[in-house]
Structure 1
């Protein structure tokens, strides 16, 4: 039976947080539910410190200042695996993002374990241990939690501590430890600088097809939907689906009958939000200030640009193979697209990438300039 301590009171958490200030690192994980809500609902926070395991109950604790102070202490690395959703949990529950973070999925890629490796596969590869996945989708908001749930959750941060130590040694040996820090810092910067609700329209795949007032309408629809979904704490698709937003912006319905005729715009949506949506349509159509119109979005690559993309992706793949790295970690698709469109290196990328792909990139840019 695994040994862990279950923390269910403010005073207990404060006491342990004070003890953890001397930790060399914290292994951190969360369990949460996000099936019918916009925001994740924390069901458990797991902490591993110096071989000991702690489960923190967010349903019985409401004083988080000690944990926030620890998470914001830049002298203590916080170790997580594939942490994007965990960061949302912390933003919602604690109002902070742990800093610095070392994501073991990223570290594993740099150490040669492949791209996007699961926690279970990484534990097996590093430690030779098998992790059960049976409780992944269980109800983490029920109380009391079962012993099986608690053991499953505690094991995550027990193994995570050993995985971290193993990855640090492996990356030191190949001179890539700083790359791990740089890559995770960029991930945090991206989270902190994530576009606001007014920019959500850019995530709709077909948005590039719209121009002028149609695109302005899509922007306003998406921004309204984000606010509505957050206020009601329900998935944005429960308000309007992405494709419905696009079709409203494209068709610009003039009345409730035309609005109801759009796919997936139900009579219930028209009843609850129809007047507001139709007002947004008419206001966008009446907009005379061209300065408020969003800039046109770039279409997907095609023709000669797609040829360039494939050529550059081949360069990246060759460089990645030579460095025993996943091509997706060396350079993401969006970065390759940026280079194709701008014929320039993205300023935001860490320097370690240039050390691996810079020569191949220079040859590519020179060849394209000569054609």
Structure 2
């Protein structure tokens, strides 16, 4: 049998990339993956891009490409699906390199969950489940910026898009047979929309756990602190934790220090961070103290009451029935945060509309929605 990796094309020039894009434009779909480094930077640094098309394999060296126009045109081609596994970090790579994301996108991790194969399957587990093939992941932590890349690195990278080309038709057929192909397209369209419109710096604080434990002004300080940190990390292109970690931001907002001495008592805030950022942090807190109560953001919701928790259990019970009927992974149908939003507002969240509405959304509304 012919070794499919033997004909893998390594692309390290604009001309070859342009010619390859002309070939890929004729493909029914493209399997895509990326390898990147993100150890010391805010933004991922692309080390390699992999493309699988019509059974052939290609490795693109982004360190040697200056003209991406033909490739980005292809990424935007609506008539050619782009197949990726667990795409969130890959989409960040595309945004940094091209200021766009592949569309239409089909994430095989999501497709597998909708097909009833399991939620959050790793690439290894997906390939074993669908093809019965064990994929070695020995180069996961490899240095993808090193040149030349080793044979082992190239093989590892190429196999990703080789097997994606085999898995995609299987998932597509399974979802078509159960009338769920549109579900896949819909969920992936939401992901690409989110990637194109990332959260604003002032919204980062909403990710921090136990936000409800802070009073409204403390929450505002945390909002401003996280927004400043986000901008600082992006401008310096360093991980946000290298500026200040989330728990430290939380403690600063909780304690509201008024001078450098008080700031130094915040656990895990290093003397170096105080020297570099102390005056900025204190100025931010001082400014936040003067904001009128009416101008503060709405407080974060508190944990559910016992009655609301009981309603949550009833909703989850409905979900368990719907999951069996739809033959999908439970986590892909219902998320805790969506149920909490419905319980608090009585309004169906956007993520429970679309294809989920007739399957579970309407039943949830009848149980806990606004009358």
- Shorter-chain TM-score: what band? over 0.9
**In structure 2, which of residues 338, 343, 346 is the aligned counterpart of residue 340 of structure 1?**
343
Q: More displaced, 296-305 or 168-177?
A: 296-305
How large is the Cα RMSD of the aligned pairs?
1.7
1:31 alignment partner, SS class: strand
Distance in 2, Cα, partners of 1:41 & 1:80: 18
**Please, what TM-score do these two structures have when normalized by structure 2?**
0.94
State the 1:307 CA deviation: 1.7
**In structure 2, which of residues 325, 328, 331 is the aligned counterpart of residue 328 of structure 1?**
331
Q: More displaced, 178-187 or 345-354?
A: 345-354
**In structure 2, which of residues 356, 360, 364 is the aligned counterpart of residue 357 of structure 1?**
360
Q: Per-residue CA shift, 1:87-144, capped at 9, x if unaligned?
A: 0111111111111100011111111101111111111221222211111111111111
**Please, what TM-score do these two structures have when normalized by structure 1?**
0.94
Partners of 1:78 and 1:100 within 8 A in 2:
yes
**Equivalent residue, structure 2, for 1:238:** 242
**Equivalent residue, structure 1, for 2:263:** 259
Q: Per-residue CA shift, 1:288-316, capped at 9, x if unaligned?
A: 4x453111111232422122112211211
Segments of 4+ in structure 1 off by > 6 A?
none
The correspondence of residues 194-233 of structure 1 with structure 2, limited to 5 A, is 194-233=198-237
Distance 1:205 1:46, change over 3 A: same
**In structure 2, which of residues 151, 157, 161 is the aligned counterpart of residue 153 of structure 1?**
157
Distance 1:360 1:13, change over 3 A: same
The alignment covers a number of residue pairs equal to 367
Q: Give the unaligned 5+ runs of structure 2.
A: none
**Equivalent residue, structure 1, for 2:303:** 300
The correspondence of residues 1-371 of structure 1 with structure 2, limited to 5 A, is 1=3, 2-3=5-6, 4-288=8-292, 290-358=293-361, 360-365=363-368
Distance 1:6 1:120, change over 3 A: same
Partners of 2:36 and 2:45 within 8 A in 1:
yes
Partners of 1:10 and 1:61 within 8 A in 2:
yes
Distance in 2, Cα, partners of 1:302 & 1:273: 40
Distance in 2, Cα, partners of 1:301 & 1:110: 29
Distance in 2, Cα, partners of 1:180 & 1:225: 35
